Amino acid sequence: MPPTTPYDPVDQTGVVIEGLDVGAVVADIHEQGYRVVEGFLDSSLMQTIERAFNTEVMFTEMRAIGTSTGRTWRAHNLLAKTRAADPVFLDPRLRAIVDGVIGQYSQINIATLFNTLPGETRQALHQDDGLWPIPRPHPSFLCNVIIAFDEFTRAKGATHVVPFSHTWTKPVDQSVESIQVELEPGSAIFWEGGLWHGGGANTTATSERMGFFISHLVSYLRPSDLQLVSVPRDVVREMPKKLQRLLGYYPFGNGVDGRDPLDTLYDGIVVHPDARLAEHWRQQD
């Protein structure tokens, strides 16, 4: 057995949080590459978040970026735009699942609303961790989730997944067999970054398929959506410490002039060199 490092996935065997057997969820994600958690968001939090998405984010921000069809609308960079979803990022069940899949030092890679509109075609099967040119097989470094805000039916384009494909080292043929994972509003599908998957076609005439997508990446890789740049520092300053860490304010290497990057939010970047020198990175939460 190789020695363990602080970056290894956390063993969540037997861990139950708020009635959810996190150990079993994590084991399924490691084994089959994905796992549905039913009733992940309760309806009152979902309503609060939906209201905020509709007022603060969606009407001004939803647009077709990142797709060629123009029939999937997305609102990116949610952490800069609303505080309503903060409880989701800090949810102890979500945190424990991510810790179990990619380790306790993770950062938010992407936080986006996906609205798949009628007429959208099927997305190509892909691996979300393909953005990082790391040879396979490799340890899990990306853990993603979509929380359904509308019903995810096959007709509306429920996500296609190829079970167990997260450990495959060769690209799949696009005609490989996949299953569509249907979700009730409030339910979530978690997957490991190597899983071959893709959004389905929305063949309905009028039904939208709104999902809340959160991607987590190990803290030592460069995220797809640069949270450190994307969320203004005065917004970050008001956040709970754990969320600040999750935006990438992690101690690493030389930190910022020997200091914890978090302290620079309050002290400024260039200060007297003795200011709040980080004692030891490992003691950081």
Please say whether the beta carbons of 178 and 162 come within 8 A: yes
Judged by CB under 6 A, the residue of 199, 223, 248, 255 near ligand AKG is 199
Q: 70 vs 92, which CB is nearer to ligand AKG?
A: 70
The C-alpha angle 58, 64, 65, rounded to 5 degrees, equals 105
Among 99, 111, 113, 95, which residue's Cα sits nearest to residue 150? 113
Q: 104 vs 130, which CB is nearer to ligand AKG?
A: 130
Please say whether the beta carbons of 216 and 143 come within 8 A: yes
Which of ligand AKG, Fe ion, none does residue 182 bind to, with CB < 5 to 8 Å depending on kind?
none
Packing angle between helix 22-32 and helix 92-102, nearest 10 degrees?
40
Q: 213 vs 220, which CB is nearer to ligand AKG?
A: 213
Among 160, 194, 192, 154, which residue's Cα sits nearest to residue 176? 160
Residues 148-167 touching ligand AKG, rule: CB under 6 A, are 159
Please say whether the beta carbons of 144 and 191 come within 8 A: yes
Amino acid occupying residue 173: D
Stretch of residues binding Fe ion (CB under 5 A), selected from 44-52, 93-101, 125-133, 167-175: 125-133
Q: 163 vs 198, which CB is nearer to ligand AKG?
A: 198
Torsion of CA 118, 119, 124, 125, to 10 degrees: 30
φ and ψ at residue 91, rounded to 5 degrees: -55, 125
The minimum distance between CB 120 and ligand AKG, in angstroms, equals: 9
Judged by CB under 6 A, the residue of 10, 198, 220, 276 near ligand AKG is 198
Q: 140 vs 159, which CB is nearer to ligand AKG?
A: 159
Q: 99 vs 128, which CB is nearer to ligand AKG?
A: 128
Looking up tokens 């997260």, which residue turns up?
166
Q: Is there binding between residue 12 and ligand AKG (CB under 6 A)?
A: no
- C-alpha 277/C-alpha 263 separation (Å) is 9
Q: How many residues bind ligand AKG (CB under 6 A)?
A: 9
Stretch of residues binding Fe ion (CB under 5 A), selected from 92-100, 103-111, 126-134, 245-253: 126-134
Which of Fe ion, ligand AKG, none does residue 114 bind to, with CB < 5 to 8 Å depending on kind?
ligand AKG
Residues 176-195 touching ligand AKG, rule: CB under 6 A, are none
- Which residue in the shown chain puts its C-beta closest to ligand AKG? 199
Q: Over the Cα atoms of the chain, what is R_g?
A: 19
The C-alpha angle 109, 113, 114, rounded to 5 degrees, equals 110
Judged by CB under 5 A, the residue of 128, 129, 192, 225 near Fe ion is 128
What is the DSSP code string of 166-187? GG--SPPPTTS--EE--B-TT-
Q: Is there binding between residue 114 and ligand AKG (CB under 6 A)?
A: yes
Q: 12 vs 72, which CB is nearer to ligand AKG?
A: 72
What's the start-to-end Cα distance of the chain, in Å? 26
Q: Is there binding between residue 128 and ligand AKG (CB under 6 A)?
A: yes
Contacting positions for Fe ion (CB under 5 A): 128
Contacting positions for ligand AKG (CB under 6 A): 114, 116, 123, 128, 146, 159, 197-199
